[in-house]
Structure 1
Amino acid sequence: SLRLTPEGVRFLLLTLAVGVAALNTGNNLLYLLLAMMLSLIVMSGILSEQCLRHLVIRRRIPDHIFANRPALIVLSLMNRKPRLPSFSLRVLDVVEGKTVDRGIHVLHLPAGASVTQSYPILFPRRGRHRIEGFKVQTRFPFGLFIKAAHVPVSSDLVVYPELRPLPDGLLHDLAVLGHDQAVSRRGQGVGLYNLREYLPGDDSRMIHWKTSARQARLMVRETETEDLRQVTLALPTAIPAEGFPSFEQAVSLTASLAAYFQEQGFAISLLVGGREILSGMGEEHFYHMLHVLALCTPTVAEGSALGVPEEFGMLGERTMRGEITLVILPWPDPSMQQLAQGVSRVFHLWEMP
């Protein structure tokens, strides 16, 4: 595409005036001036076209992007022309059919050279986003026109929910809750769980020789398994037909709780509507949960209450087994409020600031 700049408009008007004067007067000097001005216009179009040819643009996006948190995107621009350089390049993103200026300017790009620049980008909401491509512009050589070329290099990305700091009071309550739910179990570990009499097939390395000498019989040391603390986060996705504004807040709180328990070394399982993410640990599991939360959508309900998913009916049993069960309610659903009486804690988002 080609667009006139304000300077280009004035230059064309001046060229038109010189042409009219040359025709009226027949002055050879004016004809010479008109020819020079027309040649500048033609040269401007040819040189600007050459600047935009054989350019290769690549975009590198971080693997994990969170809503309302700046992410750094790296853009590389390569000039594959064998001899001619490119000048005065400006690179813009194309998002939803509109150009967005990220402040990427390259004044001089020699033939065969490449340049790398980075810019921050901020997504205000979670979910799927798409950057459709690039638009490369140049004003070279005289600034009379803006020559632009569209480069269809699209990028699809998933933006995770916003992670917000948890209040100090809530952090204290979660720490106490985790301590209260800890259960010692027999298993592989270093702590002493019990002493019992030796049985055929037991590992001889587990014999406790001092106790065996005192009791005149072989005694085996049983160890206590390393404390594997487990937590289940449950987020109902059903909302009333008229909508409820706290659903996005509920998603953000669920993600923030998952980040907290990930740092504390918990095994985390997640219930989002009728979908269950089984208990797991590690960064890969954590980002898988964030991916599910990023793409979850509220289900519009009819009536004042909804049928409860089967997985939510098992939360009370999980609590009795020693797991921490946290339910994040985006709206006062009577059936969910009654079910949540047997869990460790319920967050009523419509009451939270």
Structure 2
Amino acid sequence: MSTWAEPNPSAARPGDWADPGFFSSRLSRESGFWRLLWIMVLPPEGSRIIPTPAGYALILVALGLGTAAYNTASNILFMALSLLLSSLILSGFLSWLNFKGTRWRLNLPTQFRVGEKADLQIELRNTKALLPTYNICFNVRTRGPGKKERVFLDSRLNAGEQRRLGWIYRPQERGRDTIIVSGLESQFPFGFLRKIVGGGIKHPITVFPARIDYTFQPPVGHHARRRGEASRRPGGGAELINIRRYQQGDSQRLVHWKASARLRRLMIRQMAEENRDGYLVFVESPASLWSEEGKLHAQTAERFEKLCSFAGSLAEDLFRQGSLIAYAINDEPVSPVKRLHDLNAFLLKLSTLAPVEHYQPSPEITSYNLITFRPGVGASVHAYVGGNSVGTA
């Protein structure tokens, strides 16, 4: 996924490529010039100009030269002072040229998981006709725990070129978070001042529970035999697995009319059998079971996080084996799992799962091989099938 942005939040719209807030296409050249001068004197909200250590030294030297020039009335000292002050003005003008025409957008991976590295990218484009862009830096952070990152453009970006700047993000907690690119920063050209352009990108994300190690041994007997059966054999389900020739006795409801017209003979849609030979992962989160006095303390919080990770990891592995047919959480209806999108929907719900006070389980869950979870000793979590312990995390 990707989100384009500009540093000026008042003018930003999704999908826009625009200047970093210095000029607006709705303004004439005259008004744009005066607007530029006003922005240099009074930067808009979020934009700042901060002297660097070299900048502070330059200011002190300028103050000393100014004092000496005033006391001695020396033209040479006044000329030196003018040179220093003009360098600051030139720095502001060149930094405006450096920022002008810069566009960027945020490219994110499709999934985030606790403890796993995610490659994030800022796609940077220089839309100027002639001038390159130098020394651009982005400040990147999240609302959740984690340090602020600085992503640098380490070489010149020529006119019309596009480049991707990457960094690694490792989520520490499941749930909802926000990736924040706080704006553009540069010390170009002389390094006396840090120019920061306000605005940026804010993109919400959801972090899946971490994958963890666990043990899972299905009970010997009826459940173990049913668990290994194929899930895509011909039947009367809703998933199309093949198209074949019509045979006597086939239902007319299964005729594939487009294929029949193309091949000039009756063709039948062959559907996958509804899989009732796998497991339903049922996650219950009553506060009376997973918290103490309605509050998640250190050990119970760790146990609840392990519940979410255990349920998610087990569901993923069962899905790969073709043994996951559905899931349910508390009083939500049973949701079938037929494709990867359904599994991701389950992980998404686990990402924001919290203890609840009251719920009434759906009566549908009694018709499945049911996997439930209960707290164990310490921070351990046990999985059960038909009252038998089959796994631990």
Deviations along 1:155-174, whole A, 9 cap, x unmatched? 122111111133xxx24x13
Q: Write the distance in 1 (CA, Å) between the matches of 2:184 and 2:63.
A: 30
User: What letter matches 1:160 in structure 2?
Assistant: F
- Conservation of the 8 A alpha-carbon contact between 2:186 and 2:196: yes
- Conservation of the 8 A alpha-carbon contact between 1:228 and 1:267: no
SS in structure 2 at match of 1:255: helix
TM-score, with length taken from structure 2: 0.67
Change over 3 Å in CA distance of 1:104–1:274 after alignment to 2: farther
1:113 aligns with 2:161: yes
Aligned twin of 1:270: 327
Q: Write the distance in 1 (CA, Å) between the matches of 2:147 and 2:388.
A: 49
Aligned twin of 2:19: none
Aligned twin of 2:314: 257
Deviations along 1:40-83, whole A, 9 cap, x unmatched? 11111221222122211111111122111111112210112223
Aligned twin of 2:295: 242
Q: Write the distance in 2 (CA, Å) between the matches of 1:175 and 1:24.
A: 96
Aligned twin of 2:179: 131
Aligned twin of 1:174: 218
Give the C-alpha shift of residue 151 in structure 1.
3.7
Q: CA RMSD in A?
A: 3.2
SS in structure 2 at match of 1:164: coil
Q: Write the distance in 1 (CA, Å) between the matches of 2:132 and 2:190.
A: 16
Q: Write the distance in 1 (CA, Å) between the matches of 2:124 and 2:78.
A: 43
SS in structure 2 at match of 1:275: coil
Any residues of structure 2 matched to 1:1-353 within 5 Å, and which? 1-96=48-143, 100-166=148-214, 170-171=215-216, 173-174=217-218, 179-182=224-227, 229-240=277-288, 241-243=294-296, 244-245=300-301, 246-299=303-356, 301=357, 309-311=360-362, 315=365, 317-318=366-367, 323-330=368-375, 342-345=386-389
Change over 3 Å in CA distance of 1:242–1:99 after alignment to 2: closer
- Conservation of the 8 A alpha-carbon contact between 2:371 and 2:385: no
Change over 3 Å in CA distance of 1:346–1:267 after alignment to 2: closer
Question: Structure 1: which 5+ residue stretches go unaligned?
Answer: 191-200, 204-224, 302-306
Q: Write the distance in 1 (CA, Å) between the matches of 2:228 and 2:189.
A: 75
Give the C-alpha shift of residue 308 in structure 1.
5.5
Give the C-alpha shift of residue 107 in structure 1.
3.0
- Conservation of the 8 A alpha-carbon contact between 2:372 and 2:385: no
User: What letter matches 1:91 in structure 2?
Assistant: F
Aligned twin of 1:206: none
Give identity over the alignment, percent. 21
Q: Write the distance in 2 (CA, Å) between the matches of 1:27 and 1:154.
A: 54
User: What letter matches 1:46 in structure 2?
Assistant: F
Deviations along 1:82-126, whole A, 9 cap, x unmatched? 232221111122534999224333431222221112221111111
More strand by share: 1
Q: Write the distance in 2 (CA, Å) between the matches of 1:61 and 1:277.
A: 31
The worse-fitting range, judged by mean Cα deviation, of 56-65 and 86-95 is 86-95
User: What letter matches 1:36 in structure 2?
Assistant: L
Deviations along 1:269-302, whole A, 9 cap, x unmatched? 1121212342222211111111111122222x4x
Change over 3 Å in CA distance of 1:327–1:132 after alignment to 2: same
Question: Structure 2: which 5+ residue stretches go unaligned?
Answer: 1-47, 236-247, 251-272, 289-293
Change over 3 Å in CA distance of 1:41–1:227 after alignment to 2: closer
- Conservation of the 8 A alpha-carbon contact between 1:67 and 1:124: yes
Deviations along 1:185-227, whole A, 9 cap, x unmatched? 9x9669xxxxxxxxxx768xxxxxxxxxxxxxxxxxxxxx798
User: What letter matches 1:55 in structure 2?
Assistant: T
Q: Write the distance in 1 (CA, Å) between the matches of 2:229 and 2:59.
A: 85
- Conservation of the 8 A alpha-carbon contact between 2:115 and 2:170: yes
Q: Write the distance in 1 (CA, Å) between the matches of 2:285 and 2:227.
A: 30
Q: Write the distance in 2 (CA, Å) between the matches of 1:75 and 1:129.
A: 18
- Conservation of the 8 A alpha-carbon contact between 1:128 and 1:295: yes
TM-score, with length taken from structure 1: 0.74
Q: Write the distance in 2 (CA, Å) between the matches of 1:258 and 1:264.
A: 10
Q: Write the distance in 1 (CA, Å) between the matches of 2:376 and 2:179.
A: 34
Q: Write the distance in 1 (CA, Å) between the matches of 2:225 and 2:351.
A: 31
Q: Write the distance in 2 (CA, Å) between the matches of 1:184 and 1:258.
A: 17
- Conservation of the 8 A alpha-carbon contact between 1:328 and 1:347: no
Q: Write the distance in 2 (CA, Å) between the matches of 1:77 and 1:43.
A: 25
Give the C-alpha shift of residue 328 in structure 1.
1.4
Give the C-alpha shift of residue 176 in structure 1.
5.4
- Conservation of the 8 A alpha-carbon contact between 1:88 and 1:105: yes
SS in structure 2 at match of 1:86: coil
User: What letter matches 1:324 in structure 2?
Assistant: N
Give the C-alpha shift of residue 180 in structure 1.
3.6
